[in-house]
Amino acid sequence: MIRKSFLFAAATMGLAAPASAHNAWLLPSTTVLSDTGQSVTVDMGASTAPFEANHAALPAENVKVWAPDGTMGKVENAARGRYRSTFDVKIDKPGTWRIGMENNTIAGMFKVDGETWMVGRRRGPAPTAESRPIMTPAVKPSAPPATPGGRPQIDPSRMVASVDEIPAGATDLELTETTGRNEFFVSAGEPSEVLFKPANKGLEFAPVTLPTDLVANEPGQFRFLVDGKPAAGLEVEVIPGGRRYREADQTQKLKTDGQGLLTVNWPGAGFYWLNASHSDDKPSHPKAAKRRMTYTATLEVLAP
């Protein structure tokens, strides 16, 4: 079963975190344009069902825009409401654009002089050799669970902002490197494939069927890679938009084959939310022991 890719509090910072009832999504007005000189308007938010603005907005300042030639575009006319944010992207170059959020973070716990600290959003001084923590540990033994899942409350004065602030004498490091992307694609005129060239790092989406060439009566095929190698047996969840108007949500839970290839049959035209995640023990940072990777895409499937 796919674990949800964005915890809302983490998603607002551009992170991809597991075990949440709310999914982060980007919903463009269109993904196929006949030519340049036009703009695409995008909604973005976090909610239980993709594309339904009923939980919280996400910050448009976390969005990046890659033009077909690899240069960076920009977000225009950004605004934030209660349940969704909106922004525009001017499509002024031919080819396929990549628009979305990405993250690369390290989080977890460690100990200083026997007391538990966390890597997160610090509210207080970082621990140093000259100034050791003298207050309560990060995990309060007598505190009630902060969530129904039983997670302990965290003392915000026992947090550091990044892994670089962990002192040299720290022990019991339990750190996880988290990487993720949440994006969609727009083609103006003929699609291009420049932005799909794998970097051979982390979990990557390498489409066989271009994302802006999807048609309801034809299966779409997408290859997934981990560090440049086929991601065999990768679990992928595909959810069509408009769930409130159907008796069944039509969610598909699929797996890639031995070559990392995923084949998706579309129940009909419309927007789809695709999500994949993978965990292993091959982080790039020497202080991390584990790695969690997520990939999310919004795909538009046209009528034949």
Lowest mean pLDDT among 5-9, 212-216, 281-285: 5-9
Residue keyed to tokens 């993250």: 103
The pair of three-digit structure tokens given for residue 152, joined into one six-digit string: 């302990």
* Beta strand ranges found along the chain (DSSP E): 23-28, 32-33, 38-47, 56-57, 64-66, 76-80, 85-91, 95-112, 115-119, 159-160, 171-188, 203-207, 220-226, 229-230, 235-240, 252-255, 261-264, 270-280, 290-301
Judged against a pLDDT cut of 60, whether residue 137 lies above it is answered with no
Under the banding of pLDDT at 50, 70 and 90, the label for residue 5 is: very low
Judged against a pLDDT cut of 70, whether residue 129 lies above it is answered with no
Beta bridge pairs of residue 229? 226
Question: Would you kindly state where each structural domain of the chain is located, as residue ranges?
Answer: 8-104+177-301, 108-173
Judged against a pLDDT cut of 70, whether residue 272 lies above it is answered with yes
Degrees to nearest 5, angle at CA 84 with 36 and 269: 55
pLDDT tens digits, one per residue of 143-180: 434 444 555 566 777 888 888 898 888 999 999 999 99
* Beta strand ranges found along 126-257 (DSSP E): 159-160, 171-188, 203-207, 220-226, 229-230, 235-240, 252-255
pLDDT tens digits, one per residue of 291-300: 999 999 999 9
Residue 79: how many other CB atoms lie within 10 Å: 11
Average of pLDDT values for 284-297? 94
> Could you give the CA distance from residue 211 to residue 185 in angstroms, rounded to a whole number?
7
CATH architecture of 8-104+177-301: Sandwich (2.60)
* Residue type at 32 in one-letter notation: V
- Cα torsion for 168, 170, 171, 176, to the nearest 10°? -90
